[in-house]
Structures are given as structure tokens and as C-alpha cells.
Amino acid sequence: MNKELTNENKLIEDIKKTFPSSEVSIQREKRVIVKIKQDTVPPLLSYVKDYLDFNHLSHISCVDWIEQKKFELVFILWSYDQQIQIIAKTLINRDEPKFTTINKLWRQAETYEREIHEMYGVEFVGNDRMGDFLLEDWEDIPPMRRDFNTIQFVKENFNDRSAAREDSKNVRETIAKHSGEEIPEFAKKYSTRNIDE
């Protein structure tokens, strides 16, 4: 056993003993990755919180694996005593994305779940606050899904304002002129943002 990763290896051993179907690995020092089936995530999170002292939910995020027709939910947990992070990952169906809420384990989970619901369309069963959160009166597909066409949405919903201000195309040049600094070559192509590029 690697002495430098004793705590991480012990954590893997504890998780594998209780959840034998999980895939557990050390990503690097102080970071353990747990890949687990969807229905096993709530028991895993409860176990690591109550028995292994991972009592801080740092974040919940979502990844759109459109090619596999899956979403990946990612739960990031922290143990203050062990100074280790667990990143628990699970795949859910993209066509009818549902997952059980974990807001009874951590109250702040409600906020992350509401955001993921609005941005990706994942329903968190048991969370009764799945209504409007950040996007008011949104009628398009959830905007963080990879099949949402941001450029098309902007063209259809926002006026082209570049002609409204004469200096809008020369912001970097104006700043450079005032500061006395030159615009680096690599940045010159970004001085004018063309929405069609």
C-alpha cells in the first residue's frame, strides 16, 4: 500500500466493502472517484456522510453525454477531518432524466437540483421546488443541453447591437490607447466579435 495514499486506499476499501458493484479509484492525492449505479447513489452518499465523515456537499453538476444518450450526475463531497474529496458519478437516461432528490441529506442540494433541472431538464423526484429558478418563462429546451443552439437562439431573440455604438468594434483598441499598451497579436482577432464565426 502506498504510504502517501493510506487514507485514500482505506477509503476505497471501505466503499468497496459496502458497495461491491462500485468502481472506485484514486484520481490523485486527496481525490477519490466513485462510479456507481443510479439507484445506489443515495445510499452511498448517506453512508459516506454518516459513517466516513464526508459531511460537506461541495457541489452537484451535470454532464451531457449526448452521443451515449446519457446525463452524468456528479456529486462532490469533502471531509474536513480526512482532507479528502469524493467525486461520486452516475449515469442517467437522457430521454427521461429522473433522479431521487438528496435534499434530505443536505439542504443545499435543493439549489443545485433546481439549477440542474432548469439547465438540463433533470427531474429530481421528491424535490417539490422544480419550478422557475434562474430562467423566467423559459419555453425552449434546457439551455445547457448540447443540442441547444445558442447562436441560433441569440440571432432569433436579440437585436444586433454592434451598429448601435461606433466604438463597439474597437473596445480593445480604445483601452490600449488609454493605457498606452499594445494589443498582443493573438488578441487582435478577438477585438471584434462576429456572431457568425
- Domain of residue 69, CATH code: 3.30.460.80
- pLDDT number for residue 154: 85
Q: Is the Cβ–Cβ distance between 99 and 125 less than 8 Å?
A: yes
Task: Decide if 155 is inside a domain.
Answer: no
- pLDDT number for residue 185: 76
Task: Decide if 63 is inside a domain.
Answer: yes
Task: Decide if 161 is inside a domain.
Answer: no
Task: Decide if 30 is inside a domain.
Answer: yes
Q: Is the Cβ–Cβ distance between 9 and 25 less than 8 Å?
A: no
Judged on CB neighbours under 10 Å (0-12, 13-18, 19+), 30 is: middle
- pLDDT number for residue 167: 47
Task: Decide if 194 is inside a domain.
Answer: no
Task: Decide if 192 is inside a domain.
Answer: no
pLDDT beyond 90 at 160? no
Domain of 82?
3-132
C-alpha cell at 71: 446525463
Task: Decide if 195 is inside a domain.
Answer: no
End-to-end Cα distance, the chain: 52
Q: How many CA atoms lie within 13 A of 41 on its CB side?
A: 24
Residues 53-79, mean pLDDT to the nearest whole number:
97
pLDDT beyond 90 at 183? no
Going by pLDDT thresholds of 50, 70 and 90, the confidence category of residue 64 is very high
Residues 37-56, mean pLDDT to the nearest whole number:
96
Instruction: Return mean pLDDT, the chain.
Output: 87
Residues 125-130, mean pLDDT to the nearest whole number:
92
pLDDT beyond 70 at 3? no
Number of domains in the chain: 1
pLDDT beyond 90 at 121? yes
Task: Decide if 90 is inside a domain.
Answer: yes
Residues 66-94, mean pLDDT to the nearest whole number:
97
pLDDT beyond 80 at 165? no
Residues 50-78, mean pLDDT to the nearest whole number:
97
CA distances from 72 to 35, 138, 188 (A): 10, 23, 38
Q: Is the Cβ–Cβ distance between 79 and 103 less than 8 Å?
A: no
